[in-house]
C-alpha cells in the first residue's frame, strides 16, 4: 500500500508539475514574432506572458489615420483638416530584430507554464526568464491572461520599461487638427444676394446719373445707402466661396475709386450751387463708406485656422502635451480669449484704423496687416485730397457769405437812414477860401524861356559882327 501511495503521488506531481528540460540540444533557430520562436528547426513554441496585440493596434491606427512624416511644417497644412504625425515609432519588425540578436542560435531551457506556452531560460539555474527580459526591453506587452503567480513580476518589468521609455513605450505621436469654420449655404441664399446686388446697381446708376445735375437730399441719401450696402453680400459669399468674395470686394474697391473721381469733378462743377450742408454730407458719407467697406473686408479675411496639436504615447494614450495655435489671416483679440464675431466688431476695428487710433486690445495677423496699411493710406489720401477740396470750397463759401452779409447790412443801414425836410446840408464855399498860389502851366513856362533866349541870341550876333 505504501508503494501504491508513493506511485500516485509521483504520478500527480508529474501530471500537474511544469517540466523543465535541461537538454543542451534545445536551440532557437528562428524568431517568428515577439511571442513565437522555433526550436531545432522543427517545432514552434509560444512565449508565456507576452502579447503582441499592441503592434496590431498600432498598425491599424496608422493605416486609419494615414500618418505622415514627423515634424511637418504647419504652413503646408493647407485645406486638410487632420494630420497624425509620427513622433517616435517602434514597430514589430524592430522588436523582432532585437529579439533575434538576443536569442537566435542560443541554447535554452524551457518550462511549460500553460498548455503550449513556455518560459525560457539561458540556464537551468536562472530564475529570471527571457520572457521577463523581453518585457523589460519593451519589445512586447504583458498578456492580460497571465496567471496571478507571475502577474506581479511581469507587470513590474513592464512598469520599469514604461518609465525608461524603451521599446514600445517610446512610441509617441502627434495629432494635428487644422481647420476653420465653414458653412454651406443653400442656392436660394445666392439668389437673394443676386437680387440685392441687382437692386443696388440700379440705385447706384440712378444716383450716378444725378451727378450731371444738382441732386436733392433724397438722391444723395439713396446713393450713400447703395454704396454702403454694396459690399455686404461678400460676407455671406465668403462662408462657402472665400476667393469669390475677395474678388467681389476688389471689384467694389475699383468702383469706389471711379465714383470718388467723379465726385471731385462734380464738386468743382457745382461748387457755386452746393450748400455747405451738402458738402459736409459728402465728407461724412465718404467716411462712412470707407469704414463700412473695410469692415466687410476684415470680416471676409478674418478666417483664423486653428491648429490643435496633441502629443501622447500610443500605448496608453497618455498626454505629453496639448496646445493650440492660430495661423493664417486673423485678428488677434485679448490674448485669444475672444474673437470678432459680429459686424459691429469689425466696424470698430475699421473705424479705429481709419482715424489712426491705437488698438490696445486687437492685433492684426497675416495679410490683414497689409489691409490695415491700405485703409490708413486711403484715409490719408481722402483727408489730403477729397476732404481738402471740400474744406476749401466750404471756406470760400463761408467768406463769400460773410462778405454778402456785411454788404447787405451796410445797405440796410443806409436805407434805414431817415432824412428830415428841414435839415440843411452845408456845402463848403470854396470862393471864400484864400486863394492858393497858382502853379504855372507848361505853356507859360515855355514862353518865358523863349523870351530869355532872344536877348542872348541878339548879343551873340552883335559880337560876331564886331569881329
Quick: pLDDT tens for 5-40: 444 444 444 444 444 344 446 889 999 999 999 998
Q: For residue 317, name the pLDDT band (cuts at 50, 70, 90).
A: low
Q: Which of 362, 292, 369 is nearest to 329 (CA)?
A: 369
pLDDT, one tens digit per residue, over 95-134 is: 999 999 989 999 989 988 888 899 999 888 888 999 999 9
What is the CATH code for 21-70+88-170?
Answer: 2.40.50.90
Q: Identify the pLDDT of residue 172.
A: 80
Q: Give pLDDT, residue 121.
A: 92
By the 8 A CB rule, do 167 and 138 touch?
yes
- Cell of residue 179, nine digits: 481647420
C-alpha grid cell for residue 445?
513856362
Task: Kindly report the pTM of this predicted structure.
Answer: 0.56
Strand order in the sheet with 117-121: 20-21, 109-114, 117-121, 43-47, 36-39, 28-33
Question: Model confidence over 422-466: pLDDT tens digits?
Answer: 544 454 554 444 444 544 554 454 555 555 555 555 555 554 544
Kindly tell me if the per-residue pLDDT of 307 is higher than 90: no
What pLDDT does residue 87 have?
Answer: 73
Give the C-alpha separation, 281 to 225, whole Å.
13
What number is the average pLDDT over the span 346-354?
88
CA-to-CA distance for 409 and 397, rounded, in angstroms? 18
Alpha helices in 323-438 (DSSP H): 343-354, 368-381, 387-415
The candidate with the shortest Cα–Cα distance to 132, out of 171, 159, 165, is: 159
Question: What pLDDT, in 10s, does the model give residues 38-75?
Answer: 998 888 999 999 998 888 887 777 776 666 555 555 44
Higher confidence at residue 428 or residue 152? 152
From-to residues of CATH 2.40.50.90 in the chain: 21-70+88-170
Amino acid at each position: 500500500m505504501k508503494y501504491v501511495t508513493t506511485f500516485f503521488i509521483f504520478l500527480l506531481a508529474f501530471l500537474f508539475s511544469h517540466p523543465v528540460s535541461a537538454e543542451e540540444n534545445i536551440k532557437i533557430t528562428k524568431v517568428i514574432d515577439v511571442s513565437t520562436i522555433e526550436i531545432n528547426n522543427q517545432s514552434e513554441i509560444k512565449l508565456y506572458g507576452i502579447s503582441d496585440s499592441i503592434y496590431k493596434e498600432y498598425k491599424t491606427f496608422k493605416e486609419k489615420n494615414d500618418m505622415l512624416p514627423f515634424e511637418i511644417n504647419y504652413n503646408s497644412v493647407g485645406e486638410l483638416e487632420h494630420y497624425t504625425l509620427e513622433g517616435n515609432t517602434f514597430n514589430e519588425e524592430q522588436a523582432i530584430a532585437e529579439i533575434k540578436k538576443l536569442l537566435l542560435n542560443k541554447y535554452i531551457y524551457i518550462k511549460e507554464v500553460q498548455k503550449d506556452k513556455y518560459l525560457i531560460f539561458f540556464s537551468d539555474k536562472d530564475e529570471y526568464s527571457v520572457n521577463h527580459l523581453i518585457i523589460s526591453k519593451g519589445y512586447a506587452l504583458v498578456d492580460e491572461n497571465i496567471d496571478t503567480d507571475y502577474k506581479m513580476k511581469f507587470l513590474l518589468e513592464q512598469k520599469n520599461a514604461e518609465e525608461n521609455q524603451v521599446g514600445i513605450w517610446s512610441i509617441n505621436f502627434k495629432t494635428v487638427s487644422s481647420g476653420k469654420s465653414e458653412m454651406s449655404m443653400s442656392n436660394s441664399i445666392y439668389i437673394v444676394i443676386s437680387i440685392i446686388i441687382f437692386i443696388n446697381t440700379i440705385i447706384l446708376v440712378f444716383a450716378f446719373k444725378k451727378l450731371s445735375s444738382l441732386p436733392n437730399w433724397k438722391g444723395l441719401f439713396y446713393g450713400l445707402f447703395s454704396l454702403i450696402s454694396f459690399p455686404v453680400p461678400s460676407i455671406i459669399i465668403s462662408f462657402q466661396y472665400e476667393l469669390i468674395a475677395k474678388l467681389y470686394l476688389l471689384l467694389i474697391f475699383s468702383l469706389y475709386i471711379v465714383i470718388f473721381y467723379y465726385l471731385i469733378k462734380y464738386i468743382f462743377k457745382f461748387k457755386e450751387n452746393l450748400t455747405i450742408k451738402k458738402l459736409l454730407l459728402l465728407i461724412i458719407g465718404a467716411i462712412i463708406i470707407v469704414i463700412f467697406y473695410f469692415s466687410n473686408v476684415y470680416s471676409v479675411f478674418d478666417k483664423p485656422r486653428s491648429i490643435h496639436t496633441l502629443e501622447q504615447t500610443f500605448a496608453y494614450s497618455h498626454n505629453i502635451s496639448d496646445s493650440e495655435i492660430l495661423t493664417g489671416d486673423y485678428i488677434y483679440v485679448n490674448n485669444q480669449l475672444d474673437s470678432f464675431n459680429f459686424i459691429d466688431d469689425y466696424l470698430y476695428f475699421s473705424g479705429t484704423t481709419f482715424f489712426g487710433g491705437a488698438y490696445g486690445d486687437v492685433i492684426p495677423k497675416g495679410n490683414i496687416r497689409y489691409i490695415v496699411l491700405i485703409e490708413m493710406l486711403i484715409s490719408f489720401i481722402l483727408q489730403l485730397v477729397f476732404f481738402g477740396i471740400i474744406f476749401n470750397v466750404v471756406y470760400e463759401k463761408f467768406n463769400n457769405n460773410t462778405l454778402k452779409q456785411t454788404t447787405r447790412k451796410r445797405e440796410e443801414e443806409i436805407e434805414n437812414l431817415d432824412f428830415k425836410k428841414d435839415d440843411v446840408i452845408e456845402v463848403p464855399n470854396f470862393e471864400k477860401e484864400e486863394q492858393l498860389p497858382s502853379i504855372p502851366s507848361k505853356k507859360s513856362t515855355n514862353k518865358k524861356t523863349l523870351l530869355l533866349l532872344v536877348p542872348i541870341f541878339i548879343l551873340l550876333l552883335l559880337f560876331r559882327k564886331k569881329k
